[in-house]
Structure 1
Amino acid sequence: MPPKKEKNGCGCTSIPISLILVLLGFGYWGFTHLDKLDIRKFLPNDISQFLPNHQQPTPPTLTSAPTPPIPVANSPSPQVIPTETPTTNPQVSPSPVTPKQSPSLQTPWEKKRIRGIYLSRYQATNNANEKMIRERVRYYRAQGMNTIIHGVWGNGCTMYNSNVMQQTFGYKSCPNQFKEQWLDWLIDEAHKQGMQVHAYFEKGIKIDKNSPIFDEAIAKRWIVPGVDKTYAGIEHYVLDVEIPEVANLFKKISVEFVQKYPTIDAVQWDDYLGYHAELPGKVDRTAHLTNFVQQMRADIKKANPNVSFDLCHHNPYWGKRYFAADWSNWNVDRVFIQIYNDNNFKEELNYAENYEGVAISDQQLYRLKDLVNNPKINSVLVFPSSGKPEETAAAVKKANLMNN
């Protein structure tokens, strides 16, 4: 048989036309989408000239695959998180914090430097245990007070156990059933509450017939002749501080106190530190009283420089004119003007605006609004003439709430 003859050409004539058209279309599509197919690396470097409009391929943006959550033992089942992107960044709610009250948020009453209430010697001491003392302090704080002015001396005796009293009279204190630590508890709790305690030398240099030292004072001739009738219905006898023995007693008591209670914030004397002008003899005792107070204050400051020596007295004119109390020259640290007499209230207020503040009684709380709103009055002290300081404190709070 003759040898078989090889066919020339590629045999394209035998390929269907439809397949050829598909291949041509795919080829054209591939050249126009080289950037997406990433086959540029298999083509010559100058292939770009054959691309439509000489298009340069853009490198693809790679997106990392999401990392599957790592399971944690005892963790709650994962929640399905929505895929929508929030329009704003989510904010994490902070833990609740109790804000400190700034001065701008304080009421006019709270802006007063000293908001004080007087407690007489027997109003928080008799049979009072530690719990009772501390609760009473917190009570006054809740009524808006920041200072307790508590009697520690009065009618010739101390409201604490005093070595000076023991050595001088043979007994340690006033006839009162107090716990020895009552004042320590009161000061400690007050300071914890952000309050101050001022030691009130109640009745000052005056005593009455009920004083435990009355008979001895008469026998030793410590009494100024005559009866002091400054206040109607109350007869007082004035201890004469011109007598060295009397003056030394007060100075020793004062020094002992500020050393025994070194964290006390202040000591305060009132208008009973003075002689009434109507005492017999019309003797001018002004200079002697000034010397006495100056020396007593100096001794207190030497023993405890941090304590404030305060005075709550009549205005300087009345004090000097009717009580021999020229307190403008006593070098006291702070002065509060007493305005217990409503008849001269406006005139007395003019004095109070030039000093630390004013003292009023619980019968004058209707004046509280004007005092609180007066920027020249830095401090307000309230005296419970009713003998019920807790009720007075509550009435002060009520008046301030009504006035706000």
Structure 2
Amino acid sequence: MPPKKENSGCGCSSIPISFLIIVLGVGYWSLTHLNDLGIKKFLPDAISKLLPNRQTPPAQQPTASIATAPIVIPTPSQRVAVIQSPSQQSLPTGISQPKSPVPLPKSPVKSLSQSRWEKKAIRGIYLSRYQVTNNASEQMIRDRVRYYRKQGMNTIIHGVWGNGCTMYNSQVMQQTFGYKSCPNQFQDQWLDWLIDEAHQQGMQVHAYFEKGIKIDKNSPIFDLAISKRWIVPGVDKTYAGIDHYVLDVEIPEVANLFKKISVEFVRKYPTIDAVQWDDYLGYHAALPGKIDRTARLTSFVRQLRSGIKQANPAVSFDLCHHNPYWGKRYFAADWQNWQIDRVFIQVYNDANFRQELEYAKNYAGVAISEKQLHRLKELVSNPKIKGVLVFPYAGKPEEAASLVKKTLQ
């Protein structure tokens, strides 16, 4: 009998098919997860490249639509609002709740200088005779008043007289000279509109008797004044660049003209808050003759004030002049005896600023130019300075008012 042969097969035929399927599945899974198991790095590169590369698909972004959150308008006691989900429910996966409230834009906070500025009794801007009146409609005038209010002003000092004539229709001018006003294109109601709008805005209007008792060669009454000898001998050269001639108020006809004009004005505009005269109410010491006119000028001003108060007791009679020493010494203006209601000290000479402030502390305030706005914060911080008037030397009051606001910010 031939010898029995060894079985050379693997015996796979006797292995159940289900077991083979399980082995193959586990093997395939192992190959595809070699990287996860940390085994792949131990295999040769040639083999690793042949193995399937399993990549993790990116997470799918949520497609849920989130309603835009409403913005809560703050009450006076609230400064911020929170952007909220429609019902404060949990948000879909991937959307996080805001970590902190989202602040709304705040109203501009006033600086300390602005707050102190608003406490000043008078915050005024000068407007010369032609800076509102000429060809101005009612809307233009009202808009300008509101503009100055937004810049922090509470008083407009507007020229109503200057260089020998009025900036309104005057019966006194008509009877005396044959024309009713300065040569200007203005609507008769311009000052009514100005006063009305200012009062609506909580502001005051002061009538500025610009140039006072002085005229120049461009005055419509110059020739008549020369012919009638209404002029004090000599030329007033107080200010460089222009020659002024001083009307002599010692002449009864001249004194009566000013009294009539003043009384007519405060009656025609009974709601005007004040009338203001300036340093042109005076005789410069350099005039020839070396005549002391101090006492007679004092008598004239007192009579002028008395007439105004009788016609309209509510009107304040104001003055913006040099300090009392300089006024009396160089301009025959002893205004401390003029019975003035309010006095503002001119501080246009910046070199004497400190000395002038010592005078100003005792009166209604100071007048400065836009070139001196670097002094404004100092004036505002000084509680003894009760008011500040700004004179636009450049003739641009809107720009000057804007600079005031910027300086205080």
Q: Which runs of 5+ in 1 are unaligned?
A: 1-92, 98-103
Aligned match of 2:224: 216
Give the whole-Å Cα distance in 2 for the aligned partners of 1:263 and 1:356.
Answer: 21
Partner of residue 262 from structure 1, selected from 270, 276, 281? 270
Partner of residue 319 from structure 2, selected from 311, 321, 330? 311
Offset at 1:343? 1.1
Question: CA offsets per residue over residues 359-398 of structure 1, 9 Å max, x none?
Answer: 0001000000100000000000000000000000000000
Partner of residue 294 from structure 1, selected from 297, 302, 307? 302
Structure 2 counterparts to residues 363-382 of structure 1, below 5 A: 363-382=371-390
Offset at 1:233? 1.1
Larger Rg: 1
Question: Is residue 357 of structure 1 aligned with residue 365 of structure 2?
Answer: yes
Question: Is residue 275 of structure 1 aligned with residue 308 of structure 2?
Answer: no
Which secondary structure state, in structure 2, belongs to the residue aligned with residue 107 of structure 1? helix
Aligned match of 1:129: 137
Alignment root-mean-square deviation, CA: 1.8
Structure 2 counterparts to residues 110-121 of structure 1, below 5 A: 110-121=118-129
Give the whole-Å Cα distance in 1 for the aligned partners of 2:74 and 2:237.
Answer: 66
Paired residue type of 1:326: D
Offset at 1:256? 0.1
Which secondary structure state, in structure 2, belongs to the residue aligned with residue 292 of structure 1? helix
Offset at 1:234? 1.3
Offset at 1:94? 11
Aligned match of 2:100: none
**Alpha-carbon spacing, 1:300–1:219, altered in 2? closer, same or farther (3 Å):** same
Give the whole-Å Cα distance in 2 for the aligned partners of 1:125 and 1:342.
Answer: 31
Partner of residue 334 from structure 1, selected from 329, 334, 342? 342
Question: CA offsets per residue over residues 211-244 of structure 1, 9 Å max, x none?
Answer: 0000000000000000000011111000000000
Aligned match of 2:91: none
Paired residue type of 1:249: L
Q: Does the 8 Å contact 2:113/2:381 carry over to 1? A: no
Partner of residue 203 from structure 1, selected from 179, 201, 211? 211
Question: Is residue 147 of structure 1 aligned with residue 147 of structure 2?
Answer: no
Offset at 1:105? 12
Paired residue type of 1:394: S
Give the whole-Å Cα distance in 1 for the aligned partners of 2:134 and 2:309.
Answer: 31
Q: Which runs of 5+ in 2 are unaligned?
A: 1-72, 78-111
Give the whole-Å Cα distance in 1 for the aligned partners of 2:352 and 2:289.
Answer: 29
Aligned match of 2:391: 383
Give the whole-Å Cα distance in 2 for the aligned partners of 1:273 and 1:180.
Answer: 27
Question: CA offsets per residue over residues 41-73 of structure 1, 9 Å max, x none?
Answer: xxxxxxxxxxxxxxxxxxxxxxxxxxxxxxxxx
TM-score by length of 2: 0.73
Question: CA offsets per residue over residues 256-283 of structure 1, 9 Å max, x none?
Answer: 0000000000000000000000000000
Paired residue type of 1:203: K
Q: Does the 8 Å contact 2:343/2:364 carry over to 1? A: yes
Give the whole-Å Cα distance in 2 for the aligned partners of 1:374 and 1:388.
Answer: 27
TM-score by length of 1: 0.74
Size of the alignment, in residue pairs? 305
Give the whole-Å Cα distance in 2 for the aligned partners of 1:257 and 1:300.
Answer: 9
Question: Is residue 180 of structure 1 aligned with residue 188 of structure 2?
Answer: yes
